[in-house]
Amino acid sequence: MSAPFTLESLNSLPLPAFSAAVGEVFEHASWVADAAFGHRPFATVAALHEAMMGVVRSSPAERQLAFIRAHPELGSKVKRLDITADSQAEQGSLGLDRLSDAEFQTFTELNAAYREKFGFPFIICVRRHTRDSVLRQFARRLSNDAETERNTALDEIAFITRLRLVDRVDGPGKPRTEGRLSTHVLDNVSGKPAMGVAVSLYEIGKSARALLKETSTNADGRTDQPLMAGAPLRIGTYELHFAVSDYFSAKGVVQAELPFLDVVPIRFSISEPEGHYHVPLLVTPFAYSTYRGS
């Protein structure tokens, strides 16, 4: 779906229309767009975002703190009226609007501890994290000092608003917001790409695993589409399953009645949401290897 505005059209809008177009990018802070308006014309979408973040970072300390405090806490069991549509969608994408009783209690306790220490809510760009990663960051950042955490909150706001702005504005020089996960299976018996290998991708959490995608390899030993693309890769742990026994059986390769390798699992972690992770498999019926490719 294309963005509703182009950078060219934004550059030509009067202040009220400009603010209406991008004012909601920053949570309850249309004043950011108002102040950035004076920096037009913007040569790139990235320049527009930098100008808006520059307004926030250079604002007086009290106004900056009030802006940070206007962000919602993570996790809720009721629909709140003080949360923007963007925040609702972002938290909903990670299931933070439908937590179990135990999960809700965990988030409630962490939110309270964080707010008591720092005086503002814990802010993180949830579109770049799995739920496990959010909880790890929550626990880690509670040990920070106030200045470090205030700067970290602003850095996370930069990630959040960069994604929101890219969703709204099309034009040259968009900041990089998307990652990609791909794979490639090589049959080391034939020395050729392995076609027809069933591939499953799972997210691995502390309490559960979630199937994200099922596909198979094409004539090049790759999947027709990346395993994940078009958005940030969520920081977390994943597992790829390759049904190699079925593949070698279909190729007529002699195997034992109980094949030595049935389904090959490769567990790996993603820490760069805007990066490219290529996880190839080189395989025979008796051995396999992998690495992070490019």
The set of catalytic residues is 71
State the DSSP string of 47-82: HHHHHHHHHHHHS-HHHHHHHHHTSPPS--SS--TT
Residue 173 phi, psi (nearest 5):
65, 40
Q: Which residue shows structure tokens 């027709």? A: 224
Beta strands in the chain (DSSP E): 5-6, 169-170, 179-182, 185-187, 192-193, 198-204, 209-216, 228-231, 236-243, 263-270, 276-278, 281-283, 288-289
Q: Residue 185: CB partners within 8 Å, gap ≥ 6?
A: 193, 194, 197, 199, 217, 221, 222, 242, 280, 281, 283
State the DSSP string of 104-131: HHHHHHHHHHHHHHHSS-----GGGB-H
